[in-house]
Amino acid sequence: MPIEIELPQLSSWIGPAFLAWLSAALGLITLCGLIGFLWCLLLYGRRAPRRFWELLRSGVIDLVLVSPRRIGALAWLTIKEAFGRKVTVVVLLFCVSLLFAGWFLDPTSSEPHRLYLNFVLGTTNYLVILLVIFLAAFRLPGDIQNKTIFTVLTKPVRTSEIVTGQILGLVAVGSFILGTMWIISYPFVVRGLHHTHAVNPADLRPLGEPVTLPDGSQGQALQGWTDPTWGHRHRFFVDANGNPRVDMERGHTHSVRVEKSADGKVTYRLGGPEGQLVARVPIYGSLVFRDRNGFDVEKGISVGDEWTYRSYIEGASQAAAIWTFKDLKPDEFPGDTIPIEMNLGVFRTHKGDIERGILGSLSVRNPENGLMVELQVFESKEFSILALDIPKKITRFSSVRVEPRKIKHADGTIEYVRLKPVDPQVLSQKEFDLFRDFTSSDGKIEIWIRCLESGQYFGMAKPDLYIRAGNRSFFLNLFKGYLGIWLQMVLAIGFGVTLSTFLGTPVTLVSTLGVTIAGMAHQFMRQIVTGELYPGVETPARFGPIESFIRLFTQEGVMVEIPRTVGLMVARAIDSVFLAWLDLLSYIIPPMDRLGFIDFVAYGYNVSPSLLAVNIITVAGYLVLLIVAGHFFLRSREVAA
């Protein structure tokens, strides 16, 4: 799965994130306070400081001394009203979309599970977000317009409780709908992907020569194909002992049951697909490259691909990709091996032997003393996961050596990474222990990938190689996928309710929709601001709307330099204001696109607790500020009234 942005780790993220949040909150409070004070000055003249202080004091008290009981009551009221407005129709709409999904979902696709999961999670996302935006936009302004808000305000209820109650009530409604969708979508996906194949034993052809089995009988290995279902078929093998096996195809395989009739006729019954709906637990390392001269570099070679996600290493040279993993413990990996999985890109500068993939090697190295062994040679497999095992007890290996690492500085000086000395006897060992010999005292281990064929290249990015620490439940991972949507929904509700405290229904609706769309395209917004419209591809300049329009009109691409006329200078000056505004907006609008986990679920990767916690805390941070802001806005409105 391509991950184009760095995934945050909770431990390293929380400190700086909290400081950033605190400074943003203080800045916002100061700004709002200043505006409030000026407003008071306008309204009350000389009495303004005293009045402002009273408002501030009572506001803070209102905020702090909230009653959970009253919040609960208000939330319940919101829930009842929402259900009164027939929100369950959305669930019905979802069910209808599932009924007709078969028209549009192509089970013959190379990865149908991704299509199905993208569809259910995507549909849910759009439906729920739209629903809550409408509910939030209509709720409070409707009450204010109908004057029904006074029936609440005349009660001893604080404004903060109204805002919080509204948000909690809407979150509860959204959660109910999302939960229902989660329950409905699971069987839809499983049933939708279910298929099987038939095998005709008569179509199986002998594979190799007959062999004599231990019981003295003759056995013959067979091979053939299953019948086609959903645009694919599997290679089918039966070994000399009669044990059948189905090859992996389109990311899945099938279990096989052998049935023998009384007359000795063999029938093979294939089960449903296996291996499609998984939740792999990857452990990612950090990646550096080594160039053809053996120097460490941040990036490999560009082979001219427009998508610069992967960079490449040259074959039959000193070039390598080096992943460093931290804190690996033997007891985390039951069994004799550590499974790794990789998904490498391949670039050929000559045809070579196209009957097979490009050969590469896998080595492990101790970063502390440089001890390195080559474990195995593998054949590349592009656009599919290649699973390899690193044995804990290494008995089959080659090229034992001490491999130094060196860096060439800009001034041409070469710096060697200091290594601890290695006992020469170690180099002649016949067996190595992965954790004893190749793990440094601070728990680090390096995995090196090299391309072995001259003129050919391997391409890789950091997430392309990981250690697979088992599997988690797909059902729970799907739940996490829905949790991602839930987090987006909570933010949409927060913005909707807060904006509705001082805006009318239509404006609230449009504003919340705007915030949500901008949040969903947050990365795109940042790319426009930074000038990196395509990840890794730097456009020659940051174009604003006016220059973009000029280029559209004159049909000049982004890479073309256009004449620097006075008009262009003026356009760029105006654009710089637009871009500064967009830059500011990109810090205020929440990165809702990062909150979702649809890709994780669809590609079959477990959503890590750390990432989940980061996203939950992010949403909580926004929500706190939104409640505070909503509370003060509603109070100001009350005061104005």
DSSP state of 607: P
- Shortest distance, position 2 Cβ to other proteins, whole Å: 7
What are residue 209's DSSP bridge partners? none
- Give min distance, CB of 243 to other proteins, in A: 22
CB of 233 to other proteins, least distance (A): 6
Looking at the Cβ atoms of 90 and 115, the one nearer to other proteins is: 115
Judged by CB, which is closer to other proteins: 18, or 534? Answer: 534
Query: What's at 58, amino acid-wise?
Result: S
- Count of alpha carbons within 13 angstroms of residue 391, beta-carbon side: 12
Contact 3, 463 (CB under 8 A): yes
Work out how close the CB of 105 gets to other proteins at its nearest, in angstroms, rounded to a whole number: 8
Beta strands in 329-382 (DSSP E): 337-342, 345-348, 359-365, 371-379
Rounded least distance, CB 533 to other proteins, Å = 11
Closer to other proteins by Cβ: residue 438 or 600: 600
**Which residue, 475 or 534, has its beta carbon nearer to other proteins?**
534
Comparing CB distances to other proteins, the nearer of 109 and 429 is 109
Q: Which is nearer to other proteins, 142 or 201 (CB)?
A: 201
Q: Which residue number, 103 or 553, has a Cβ lying nearer to other proteins?
A: 103
Report CA-CA distances (Å) from 236 to 226, 240, 260, 275: 6, 13, 18, 17
Q: Write down the least CB distance from residue 125 to other proteins, Å.
A: 16
**Tokens encoding 288:** 């550096």
* Backbone phi, psi, residue 98, to 5°: -70, -35
What distance in Å separates the CA atoms of residue 280 and residue 440, rounded to the nearest whole number? Answer: 27
Question: Looking at beta carbons only, is 110 or 539 nearer to other proteins?
Answer: 110
Q: 13 or 225: whose CB is closer to other proteins?
A: 225
Shortest gap between Cβ of 351 and other proteins (angstroms)? 6
Residues that bind other proteins (CB under 8 A): 2, 100, 103-104, 106, 109-111, 114-115, 118, 224-225, 228, 231, 233, 306-307, 309, 346, 348, 351, 354-355, 357-358, 380-383, 534
Q: Which of 346, 353, 406 is nearest to 380 (CA)?
A: 346
3-state secondary structure 504-556: CHHHHHHHHHHHHHHHHCHHHHHHHHHCCCECCECCCCCCCHHHHHHHHHHCC
Three-class SS of residue 100? coil
Separation CA 432–CA 430 (nearest Å): 7
Calpha distance 231→144 (Å, rounded): 58
299-309 exposure pattern, b = at least 16 Cβ within 10 A, e = fewer:
ebbebeeeebb
- Phi, psi of 312, deg, nearest 5: -115, 155
Shortest Å, Cβ 169 to other proteins: 32
Q: What's the min distance (Å) between Cβ of 319 and other proteins?
A: 18
Q: Report CA 229 to chain centroid distance, whole Å.
A: 31
For residue 559, the minimal CB distance to other proteins (Å) is: 15
Q: How many residues does the chain have?
A: 641
Give the integer Cα–Cα distance in Å for 439 and 432.
Answer: 11
**Closest distance between other proteins and the C-beta of residue 308, in Å?**
10
Of 317, 363, 338, 340, nearest to 458 (Cα)?
317
Q: At 27, which helix (H) or strand (E)? A: helix 10-44
Residue nearer to other proteins on the CB measure, 249 or 583: 249
233: number of Cβ within 10 Å: 16
Q: What is the biggest distance separating any 2 CA atoms in the chain, rounded to whole angstroms?
A: 109
Q: Structure tokens of 490?
A: 């909570």
Q: What is the nearest approach in angstroms of other proteins to the Cβ of residue 227?
A: 10
Can you tell me which residue has the tokens 């390392």?
285
